[in-house]
Amino acid sequence: MDSKFHAFMFPWFAFGHMIPFLHLANKLAEKGHRVTFLLPKKAQKQVEHHNLFPDSIVFHPLTVPHVNGLPPGAETTSDISISEDNLLSEALDLTRGQVEAAVRALRPDLIFFDFALWIPEVAKELMIKSVSYIIVSATTIAHTHVPGGSLGVPPPGYPSSKVRFGENDAHALAKLSIFYKRLYHQITTGFKRCDIIALRTCKEIEGKFCDYIAHQYQKKVLLTGPMLPEPDTSKPLEEHWSHFLSGFPPRSVVFCALGSQIVLEKDQFQELCLGMELIGLPFLLAVKPPKGSSTVQEGLPEGFEERMKGHGVVWGGWVQQPLILSHPSVGCFVNHCGPGAIWECIMSNCQMVLLPFLSDQTLFTKLMTEEFKVSVEVLREKTGWFSKESLRDAIKSVMDKDSDLGKLVRSNHANLKEILVSPGLLTGYVDSFVEALQEELN
């Protein structure tokens, strides 16, 4: 065949999945390959600015069928609560007819998927190769999606004694239990049936977990590297943020964002706000409105906005996270340890304070905090509650100039970043990945 291939991409209906798939699509397009990207209709508008090669990456919008129990018009995880994930996953399965029709009409050489476990079946029938491309950490896959373990308990031979759930992580396991069975089935079946397993990581960070997965599934595991976004030069940081941030000294602002899915209970949201106030440093808190409030302002603690005027902002909308992280005034990033956030954080110069909510976020937090010692974790109580004081203590422990812990994590973080930015490392991952795909197709 022609050495240039045509790939289909069909990620789970969540921005944390569609965006890194698109970054991979860009890397393929950069090398002259074509991509047809299947996604829910409404999502296209929100992600199309990530498409750097519109001539080579073509969106193929899908109509997401309604499933009883889902809010009308729900298409992505941003439209639903975590407890409705299984229903959205049923809706994804119901798009099979549309996907098959597109595959038959366009006959790609490869199909990348993650949760649609029926893709290998569709592909095989037409002699197309299927690639199970997983964008969450290899740590999570090794712990939770290898046969032999159970909810919260890793399978035999799992390669870490530190990257495990602790006694205060029951809150994360409780959330996982809602969709554990379905997700476990999707990923393990996808892995068994696909031609290639690919992971969004690099061996410098998760090598032993990748080797473990390859051994357990007896399949070659290809790595794409972290798939960081290309710096978006088309849109500078919005004026109101650059104006706000530039008013503070270098590295003094605490930026907090919790990804695209986390919606806090109102009391926990208020505690988060009060914790930011306690630190005494300028801050930008970009989180969704809490449960029961339609705006963040509506959920704020009494008098908070007035007290924080000119010093701290709580924002309920989308922000340009990578650009904020690279602003010289930002010195600390409090985040949920989502796979996108964490790679962006590692590549920044910000101190890392981790506040995980979901199970994959919790495991990656342990990897960063216990094994690499590049971050600190906000302590929670057994109920999962975190107090304003524990948030303040975690942030102060890395922001206080004289803190030994702060110096340690800063220096470990700088070393890790240096490895990742070493010339050719990340492009080398993409080159080897594409070569391996081409070999598979020949």
Ligand X SMILES: O=c1ccn([C@@H]2O[C@H](COP(=O)(O)OP(=O)(O)O[C@H]3O[C@H](CO)[C@@H](O)[C@H](O)[C@H]3O)[C@@H](O)[C@H]2O)c(=O)[nH]1
Binding site for ligand X (CB under 6 A): 14-17, 19, 136, 257, 259-261, 286, 318-322, 338-341, 344, 358, 360-361
Residue nearest to ligand X (CB): 259
Closer residue to ligand X (CB): 216 or 361:
361
38 vs 172, beta carbon nearer ligand X: 172
**Complex with ligand X: residue 80 or 102, whichever CB lies closer:** 80
CB of 404 to ligand X, least distance (A): 29
CB of 435 to ligand X, least distance (A): 27
Q: In whole angstroms, how close is the CB of 30 to ligand X at the nearest point?
A: 19
Closer residue to ligand X, CB minimum distance, 110 or 345: 345
Closest C-alpha among 405, 358, 434 to residue 3: 434
Give yes or no for a contact between 437 and 389, defined as CB atoms under 8 angstroms apart. no
CB of 195 to ligand X, least distance (A): 23
Closest distance between ligand X and the C-beta of residue 177, in Å? Answer: 15
Closest CA to 208 of 161, 162, 164, 160: 160
Q: Under 8 Å CB-to-CB from 119, ≥6 apart: which residues?
A: 10, 99, 111, 113, 130, 190, 194
Q: Are strands 6-10 and 110-113 parallel, antiparallel or unpaired?
A: parallel
Taking the complex as a whole, the smallest distance from the CB of residue 334 to ligand X amounts, in Å, to: 13
Tokens of 208: 């032993």
Residue 187 or 395 with smaller CB distance to ligand X: 187
Closest approach, Cβ 361 to ligand X, in A, equals 5
- Of the pair 91, 102, the CB lying nearest ligand X is at 91
Measured from the CB atom, the residue of 20 and 282 that comes closer to ligand X is 20
* Of residues 111 and 286, the one with the C-beta less far from ligand X: 286
Least CB distance to ligand X at residue 412 (A): 21
- Residue 19 or 70 having the CB closest to ligand X: 19
Q: Choose between 95 and 260: whose C-beta lies nearer to ligand X.
A: 260
The number of residues making up the chain comes to 442
Report in angstroms how near the CB of residue 106 gets to ligand X at its nearest: 27
- CB of 175: closest distance to ligand X in angstroms? 10
Q: How far is the CB of 159 from ligand X (least distance, A)?
A: 20
Whichever of 103 and 245 has its CB closer to ligand X, that residue is 245
Residue 41 neighbours by CB distance under 10 Å: 12
The span from the CA of 80 to the CA of 91, in Å, is: 13
Query: Secondary structure of the chain in the HEC alphabet?
Result: CCCCCEEEEECCCCHHHHHHHHHHHHHHHHCCCEEEEEEECCHHHHHHHHCCCCCCEEEEEECCCCCCCCCCCCCCHHHCCHHHHHHHHHHHHCCHHHHHHHHHHHCCCEEEECCCCCHHHHHHHCCCEEEEEECCCHHHHHHHCCCCCECCECCCCCCCCCCCCCCCCHHHHHHHHHHHHHHHHHHHHHHHHCCEEEECCCHHHHHHHHHHHHHHHCCCEEECCCCCCCCCCCCCCCHHHHHHHHCCCCCCEEEEECCCCCCCCHHHHHHHHHHHHHHCCCEEEECCCCCCCCCHHHHCCCCHHHHHCCCEEEECCCCCHHHHHCCCCEEEEEECCCHHHHHHHHCCCCEEEECCCCHHHHHHHHHHHHHCCCEEECCCCCCCCCCHHHHHHHHHHHHCCCCHHHHHHHHHHHHHHHHHCCCCHHHHHHHHHHHHHHHHHC
